[in-house]
């Protein structure tokens, strides 16, 4: 289908050029051109002059990347000093709070300590006792940046298994520690990816993948069981699909450890199969529960021998159901489905179910009994999120946290019988968050669909078109974006700015139908929704074209990159973060082949045409001076490889028409989630917000 038919090497031009009215401060690196041509369907020839940058280990690529980082560092350091953004973000990031999670008999929390940038894992036997350090990442390695990603406690609360990664990679390792002695066992597993730890007896389940090379295609997920005290090579293979390496698995052990549940998602046809093992049966083995589902269903736990699950079968916004293994296709509904609110989270307990719903970033909590009777309802403020509810299935007192864009987590005790709430400790900030206002808006997109949006700004803001504004969105994979505290947003607002988040199609904010309306053949709707949001902010005089910036990460980075290429007249500055930008070659690397349902595939002619139509890299026009851009990526991002940003920047910079600065910032020892250490996160925020403010302040 795809073949290289031409490789013409043009002379390398690796020289620094100074351009534009701001020539004294902006430098871009001219990349060499080495033409490669991919052929599709024997007639479409796609020329790619910068495909050589996909070889991230070549001396030429490394030299080009080093020069890009040097150039961007010089520009950004001046922008950050000019706006004092590092000082402000560092100030607002200094907040005092603790967010413990109960697991087994203990409470756990990640926390920074001794001025070391990477959080360690702490634990305590009760909230009234002082916490103790359990896992110190510097004990694992002093050379690598170690990120603790996940942990799980055995049912008897004797052992804790934890996952960690090195330098931002998606590849994980597991170690096991005794909670009584606080000493590590000899167990050490490697090669995990997109895995979680699910205990059963004296061991746990986990998953691995196969992958060729750093950015090769990820495939062939396998589920294993590890028995404590044995070597990884002795682990039992539980499940795999040799004939379909694209299959994805999710699994859990129920809280009573009676059932092991495995969900198999077939990427090729979208079908879901659910299997289970009943360890109370005479001959336990994996047997089908439900097969060939065309909709999503997630088993959460068991209750009196039956499964508690959430489903989007007929309930577009989600519903809680009970599934009897003896009659698995006849489900009993528990609680409500809301037309205007999405079911986000369901946590079953012994005789209660806690459910969290959201409507346009407006969450509320419901408590049901197992008959479906509503026992309690609690509404939270707009543009906030609620999480936690951690604890054992038999607990009555739980912990949950509340947060928003401008408020760090506030943790409450919550009794699911009396419904009494009690603040665990005061969250301290060094700014007045009461002066910040949240507003819900709704605007019309290109096809007359109404799209919700949240605005955050200082009270007393005047709508005269002179306010700096940042527009952000995600809009993909049915993901529901919940607000989280961001000191960069606080800093921007304190500069007189407006922060806007658009809940565009493709995201899950308004249910499954909303997500489907912005994926696959409908993907352009996501971009149109974002563009319409920018037009709305300008038309309503919240801001102007010369004051409007756009940013987004991952799929959101694609959204803002497309918007910048399709409507460069709307934005002053654009910051795509870890963004896929070459949509013709994205499925060739790492997990890209899993995302063809979201974006499309080059193996279908109609889909190929749609990808080519919106792919940011392929739609750059020679004669346009695009908005100022800062591309942020990570050298170890094995989800969206960094060369997406490399190639996009190279093509933008190698044009005479580009007078506005185009910068590339590569985070070292980092992965898809960006900067890893506390100070590097602050620096990355300062660079992004400093760049935006610097461009907006220019005449």
Short-list 234, 241, 188, 165, CA closest to 210: 241
Active-site annotation holder among 28, 196, 226, 672: 672
Residue owning tokens 């979208």: 270
Long-range pairs for 158-167: beta carbons < 8 A, 24 or more residues apart: 159/185, 159/228, 160/134, 161/187, 161/197, 161/199, 161/204, 162/121, 162/135, 162/197, 163/192, 163/195, 163/196, 163/197, 164/137, 164/140, 165/671, 166/141, 167/636, 167/669, 167/670, 167/671, 167/676
Q: What are phi and psi of 435, to 5 degrees?
A: -85, 0
Q: Are residues 128 and 442 in contact, defined by beta-carbon separation less than 8 angstroms?
A: no
Choose the catalytic residue: 71, 195, 554, 680: 554
Strand partners, 149: none
Residue 554 designated active-site: yes
Q: How far is CA 144 from the centre of its chain?
A: 23
**Alpha-carbon 503 to chain mean position:** 15
The single residue listed with the structure tokens 């929704």 is: 529
What 3 state SS string does 324-368 have? ECCEEEEEEEECCCCCCCEEEEEEECCCCEEEEEECCCCEEEEEE
Question: What tokens appear for 420 in the block?
Answer: 């009494």
- Per the structure block, which two tokens stand in for 354? 């806690």
Vertex 481: Cα angle to 477 and 487 (nearest 5) = 135
Give the residue from 98, 95, 682, 81 showing the smallest Cα distance to 431: 95
Q: Are 408 and 386 in contact (CB under 8 A)?
A: no
- Per DSSP, helices labelled H in 129-273 are 137-140
121, 135 contact by CB (below 8 A): yes
Are the CB atoms for 163 and 145 separated by under 8 Å?
Answer: no
Spatial distance between the Cα atoms of 253 and 221, rounded to a whole number of angstroms: 18
Residues annotated as catalytic are 554, 672
């Amino acid at each position: 289908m795809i073949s290289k038919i031409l490789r013409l090497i043009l002379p390398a031009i690796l020289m620094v050029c100074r351009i534009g009215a701001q020539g004294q401060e902006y430098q871009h690196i001219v990349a060499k051109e080495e033409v490669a041509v991919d052929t599709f369907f024997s007639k479409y020839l796609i020329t790619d002059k910068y495909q050589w940058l996909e070889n991230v280990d070549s001396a030429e690529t490394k030299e080009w990347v080093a020069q890009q980082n040097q150039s961007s560092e010089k520009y950004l350091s001046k922008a950050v000093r000019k706006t004092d953004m590092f000082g402000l973000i560092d100030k607002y990031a200094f907040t005092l709070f603790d967010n413990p999670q109960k697991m087994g008999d203990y409470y756990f929390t990640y926390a920074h300590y001794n001025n070391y940038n990477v959080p360690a894992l702490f634990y305590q036997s009760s909230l009234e006792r002082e916490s103790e350090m359990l896992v110190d990442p510097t004990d694992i390695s002093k050379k690598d940046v170690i990120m603790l990603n996940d942990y799980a406690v055995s049912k008897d609360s004797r052992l804790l298994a934890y996952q960690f990664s090195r330098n931002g990679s998606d590849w994980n390792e597991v170690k096991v520690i005794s909670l009584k002695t606080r000493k590590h066992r000899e167990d050490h597993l490697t090669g995990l990816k997109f895995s979680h730890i699910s205990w059963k007896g004296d061991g746990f389940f986990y998953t691995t993948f196969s992958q060729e090379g750093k950015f090769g295609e990820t495939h062939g997920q396998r589920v294993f069981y590890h028995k404590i005290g044995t070597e990884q090579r002795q682990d039992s293979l539980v499940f795999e699909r040799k004939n379909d390496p694209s299959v994805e698995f999710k699994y859990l052990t129920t809280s009573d450890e009676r059932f092991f549940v495995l969900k198999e998602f077939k990427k090729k046809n979208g079908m879901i199969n659910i299997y289970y093992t009943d360890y109370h049966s005479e001959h336990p083995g994996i047997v089908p529960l439900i097969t060939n589902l065309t909709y999503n269903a997630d088993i959460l736990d068991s209750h009196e021998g039956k499964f508690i699950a959430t489903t989007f079968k007929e309930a577009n916004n989600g519903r809680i159901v009970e599934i009897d293994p003896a009659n698995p296709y006849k489900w009993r509904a528990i609680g409500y489905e809301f037309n205007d609110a999405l079911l986000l989270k369901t946590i079953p307990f012994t005789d209660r179910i806690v459910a969290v719903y959201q409507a346009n970033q407006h969450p509320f909590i419901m408590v049901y009994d197992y008959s479906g009777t509503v026992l309690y309802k609690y509404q939270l403020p707009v543009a906030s999120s609620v999480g936690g509810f951690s604890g054992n299935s038999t607990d009555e007192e739980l912990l949950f946290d509340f947060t928003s864009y401008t408020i760090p987590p506030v943790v409450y005790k919550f009794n699911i019988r009396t419904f009494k709430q009690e603040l665990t400790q005061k969250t301290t900030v060094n700014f007045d968050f009461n002066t910040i206002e949240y507003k819900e808006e709704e605007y019309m997109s290109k096809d007359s669909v109404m799209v919700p949006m949240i605005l955050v700004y200082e009270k007393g803001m005047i709508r005269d078109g002179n306010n700096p504004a940042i527009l952000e969105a995600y809009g993909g994979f049915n993901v529901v974006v919940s607000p989280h505290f961001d000191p960069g947003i606080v800093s921007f607002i304190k500069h007189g700015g407006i922060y806007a988040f658009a809940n565009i199609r493709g995201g899950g904010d308004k249910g499954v139908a909303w997500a489907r309306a912005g994926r696959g053949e409908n993907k352009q709707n996501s971009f149109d929704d974002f563009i319409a949001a920018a037009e709305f902010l300008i038309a309503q005089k919240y801001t102007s074209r010369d004051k409007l910036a756009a940013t987004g990460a991952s799929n959101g980075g694609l959204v803002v990159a497309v918007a910048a290429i399709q409507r460069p007249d709307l934005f002053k500055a654009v910051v795509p973060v870890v963004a896929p930008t070459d949509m013709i070659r994205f499925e060739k690397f790492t997990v890209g082949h899993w995302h063809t349902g979201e974006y499309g595939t080059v193996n279908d002619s109609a889909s190929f045409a749609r990808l080519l139509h919106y792919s940011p890299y392929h739609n750059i026009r020679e004669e346009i001076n695009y908005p100022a851009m800062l591309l942020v990526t990570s050298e170890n991002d094995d989800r969206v490889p960094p060369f997406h940003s490399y190639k996009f920047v190279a093509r933008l910079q190698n044009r005479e028409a580009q007078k506005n600065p185009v910068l590339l910032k590569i985070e070292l020892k980092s992965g898809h989630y960006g900067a890893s250490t506390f100070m590097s996160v602050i620096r990355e925020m300062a660079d992004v917000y400093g760049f935006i403010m610097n461009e907006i302040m220019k005449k």
